[in-house]
Structure 1
Amino acid sequence: MKHPHLCAVALLALSAFAPALPQAADARGVEVVARMNGPMPTGITVATGGRIFVNYPQWGDRPAWAVAELKDGKFVPYPDAATNRFDPAHPGATFSSVQSVVVDGAGRLWVLDTGAPGFGAPIPGAAKLVAIDLASGKIVRTIPVTAPALLKTTYLNDVRFDLRQGKAGVAYITDSSISGPGGIIVVDLASGKATRRLSGHVSTSPDPDFRATIEGRTLMNRPAPGTEPSAWNVASDGIAISPDGETLYYCALTSRHFYSVPTRLLRDHSVSEAELEAHVTDLGLKGPSDGLSEDTRGYIYAGDFEKNEINRFDPASGRWTTLAQDDRILWPDTLSISDGWLYFTANQLYRQAGFNEGKDLRQQPYEVLRLRVGAEPVLLK
């Protein structure tokens, strides 16, 4: 296989809009920010000024730490090595399996700990949101995510914040379960109370008819040679929020559909599930994507892991635009905007052994890439 780092950016020709496809080309160069060997990263977040943080879930690579910061060209554990060594005796004070990291508008890095290594049932006390003050590097808040919002099948995936709501703000978390219902978990940051919304709704559920084709092969569970392939189903995953905080966007990983819902209804406990579901909007089809991101102009960004693309959605027109197509964009996992750039991890997730008859086809190093978009992040504070 040709080495992906030697492939040039492909500039796409202008095309007519179709609901299921990007509308037009506005391609820019994709730059390599960092390369890494060892465990596969998923999440990335970039603070104003350029501090870059990534995370590594416990999916079998046995990462030495869960959260890292890029310093002097190397990724080092953050906030320290001790916090990154999971201690079953202290599940609330150490990281178990981190799926996402997000910088908020108050100078904090939030760590979303699934508490569920290997997609197993969450370890009691391990599923949590952890806030770290970026100035001091000290943990300033730990919020356990517990039942009934947290199910035995829950896999906390990604999170967005609106610090203007209530006394201390609110967090919206996707549950991307692979064996149970998906959903949106709403956490009041002052009280720590978590509420489960849209649990098992079609908008938070995988599409049973979804099949992705990557590098000429249908993406399915293929754990060992000779085993019958099975559908890979992953519920609500990508999440983004509008600049005014009034709309939440989200999608299941194994689906081409894209949805939105008013945040005021998610937060209002008096709103029934039936009423909430009636206000979910299906925004049409998109390329299959993992994470989402947003900017202050109202645009939503998503990768397309079939076509090695980065695309942008305009809520005003309902249209998608392709910003870049590049052979190095090997499964764009998580996206983060900072200082005019869109950063994202390219982690080759589909080349893991479980999709390839037990053979790990990933080619290290993994990469952190970025694309100039001239936009700023949504920081609701």
Structure 2
Amino acid sequence: MRKIISLASIIACFSGPIWAYADTLDNLDTVAESYQMMWNGVAIQNNEVYVSGPLWSDSKGPSVAKIGENGELKPYPSKAWNSTNSEIPLSKRFVNVNAIHKDDRGQLWIVDTGVSTFGGSVIKDAAKLVVVNLQSDKVSDVILFSPLVLKANSYVDDIRFNGDYAYLTDAGAPGLIVLNLKTKKMWRVLDNSPSTVALKNRDIFLDGKVVEVMKGQPLRVNSDPLALSPDKKWLYFAPLQGPWSKVETRYLNDFGMKDNIQNKVHSWFNLPPVGGVAMGKDGIMYFTDLAANALRTISPEGKINTLVVDPRLHWADAPVIDKGSVYLPAFQVDRIATFNEGVSRVEFPIGLYKFDLRQPK
């Protein structure tokens, strides 16, 4: 019988990782660069590349863009959606996009946090999911987040799909959000759980220093990265700093279980702070190790391999796997003025990179 570990002792129950370092492969190619847009999300459809990023990151480009053949950033799905014109209703334009994710139906889901600024409050009717048909480039649905699942300090972070359900992390007000895609009903689970709250004793180190919101206040990011097992039976999730937990999706999908899921959560793995993850069809999870500017993998058995270490991968965020390659948006968010006492240390251009998984060059 599988033992369920008490979340009160979640940290004490983690075993150390099994590290295995592969030779670094020179397979990192530049897909696109920008001196305007700071991106933390990427999606690929039929070799077309889409990127996104929150405006609070000092980005000067669109919130969501399609990259043209010459590297031009075309506002996507339209200029109006990327406008900051206050005359356009908040439900019809982006406010602060944090993630994009493609489903298996050829739709791009855009996660708009709807916050005024980093650490700000959610604006009424601004937090939403915008669904775009990638064939027609038309918005097919706009799903506003219910006031029942949003809190004043919510920051809806990322999304994954499992049949008729979607799961989202809330990095502001720690917890998970479940969305029934058929009924559009939403509910929260694991509010302020040890599995979703960022620990106070786990700092994020980059460039040899602790990332701080302001002097003496280390950055803490609650439930952030998430991934589904290939069979969709398990959801893996964590605060940005880790550690990771997992829960069976059958409990998430059951509205009647929403207040009784905490004792169904298992501790999973004690990974370092990660920018984002992507799950392979073989159950191997790809993750970006922030402190090391690295792309690594963890196998279902817990073996960790290093694929590439490169200074260009500074705060590489949400990776995406497509046709034997991993796409990596290098966000550099820790270098923005907000986290550096008002002085931007971003090293332009912002890069989008591709790592070839198939063979060394």
Q: TM-score, normalised by structure 2?
A: 0.90
Report deviation, 1:373: 2.4
Which residue matches 2:175?
A: 183
Q: Which runs of 5+ in 2 are unaligned?
A: 1-14
Is 1:147 the counterpart of 2:144 in the alignment?
no
Q: Secondary structure at the match of 1:311?
A: strand
Partner residue, 1:270? 256
In structure 1, what is the equivalent of residue 279 of structure 2?
Answer: 294
Provide the rounded CA distance (Å) in 1 between the counterparts of 2:134 and 2:253.
28
Match of residue 74 from structure 1:
72
Render the CA deviation track for 1:92-114: whole Å, top value 9, x for unaligned. 12111111111110011111111
- In the alignment, the residues of structure 2 paired with residue 279 and residue 260 of structure 1 have an alpha-carbon distance, to the nearest angstrom, of 9
Aligned partner of 1:137 in structure 2 is 137
- The offset of 1:284, in angstroms, is 2.4
2:282 and 2:242 mapped to 1: Cα distance? 24
SS state at 2:100 partner: strand
Residue 56 (structure 2) aligns with: 59
AA aligned opposite 1:58: L
SS in 1 for 2:91: coil
Report the alpha carbon displacement of residue 355 of structure 1 after superposing the two structures with TM.
2.5
Number of the residue aligned with 1:171:
166
What is the deviation of 1:256?
3.1
Q: Which residue of 2 aligns with 1:3?
A: none
Q: Using the TM superposition, give the Cα deviation of residue 232 of structure 1 relative to its aligned residue in structure 2, in angstroms.
A: 1.3
Instruction: Give, in angstroms, the shift of residue 77 of structure 1.
Output: 0.5
Task: Tell me the alpha carbon deviations over residues 333-360 of structure 1, each in whole angstroms, 9 at most, x when there is no partner.
Answer: 1111111111011121111223222211
Structure 1 residue matching 2:218: 3-state secondary structure:
coil
For 2:89, the equivalent position in structure 1 comes to: 90
2:98 aligned partner = 99
Determine if contact 1:221/1:232 at 8 Å carries over to the other structure: yes
- 1:109-148 residue pairs with structure 2 within 5 A? 109-119=108-118, 120-148=120-148
Q: Mark the CA change 1:70 to 1:196 in structure 2 (over 3 Å): closer, same or farther.
A: same
Query: Who is 1:215 aligned against?
Result: 207
Cα separation, partners in 2 of 1:77 and 1:310, compared to 1, 3 Å:
same
Deviations 1:176-208 (A, max 9, x none): 11xxx3111011112211110111111111011
In structure 1, C-alpha distance between the alignment counterparts of 2:200 and 2:63, rounded to whole Å: 32
Q: Secondary structure at the match of 1:324?
A: strand
| Contact 1:287-1:303 within 8 A present in 2 as well | no
Q: Which residue of 2 aligns with 1:203?
A: 195
Deviations for 1:231-277, whole angstroms, at most 9, x for unmatched residues?
A: 21110111111111111111211x23112111111111122534x11
Residue in 2 aligned with 1:378?
none
CA distance in 2, matches of 1:115, 1:349: 19
Distance 1:256 1:143 in 2: 29
Q: Deviations over 1:296-340 (max 9, x none)?
A: 11111110110111111112x122211111121111111111111
| TM-score using structure 1 length | 0.85
* Counterpart Cα distance in 1 of 2:258 and 2:68: 47
Residue number in structure 1 paired with 2:298: 313
The answer to whether residue 216 in structure 2 is matched with residue 232 in structure 1 is no
* Structure 1 position 246 matched with structure 2 position 233: yes
1:336 and 1:100 map into 2 onto residues whose CA distance is 12
Instruction: Judge conservation of contact 1:22–1:311 (CA < 8 Å) in 2.
Output: no
C-alpha distance after superposition, 1:153-194 (max 9, x if no partner): 1101110112x2xxxx211111011xxx31110111122111
SS of 2:334's partner is helix
Report the residue type matching 2:257 in the other structure. Answer: V
Contact map agreement 2:286 2:295 (CA 8 A) in 1: yes
Give the 3 Å change call, closer, same or farther, for CA 145–272 of structure 1 in structure 2. closer
Change (3 A) 1:51 1:332: same
Structure 2 counterpart SS, 1:264:
helix
Range moving further from structure 2, 27-36 or 133-142: 27-36
Kindly state the Cα deviation for residue 38 of structure 1 after the two structures are TM-superposed: 1.3
Greater CA drift, 102-111 or 38-47: 38-47
TM-fit CA distance, 1:84 = 1.2
Once residues 284 and 236 of structure 2 are traced to their aligned partners in structure 1, the CA distance between those partners, rounded to angstroms, is: 11
1:19–1:319 Cα contact (<8 Å) kept: no
Aligned-residue RMSD, C-alpha: 1.8
Local SS of the residue matching 1:121: coil
Q: Contact (CA 8 Å) 1:21, 1:287: kept in 2 or not?
A: no
Gaps of 5+ in 1: 1-17, 223-227, 376-381
Identity percentage of aligned residues: 29
Identify the residue that residue 350 of structure 2 maps to in structure 1.
366
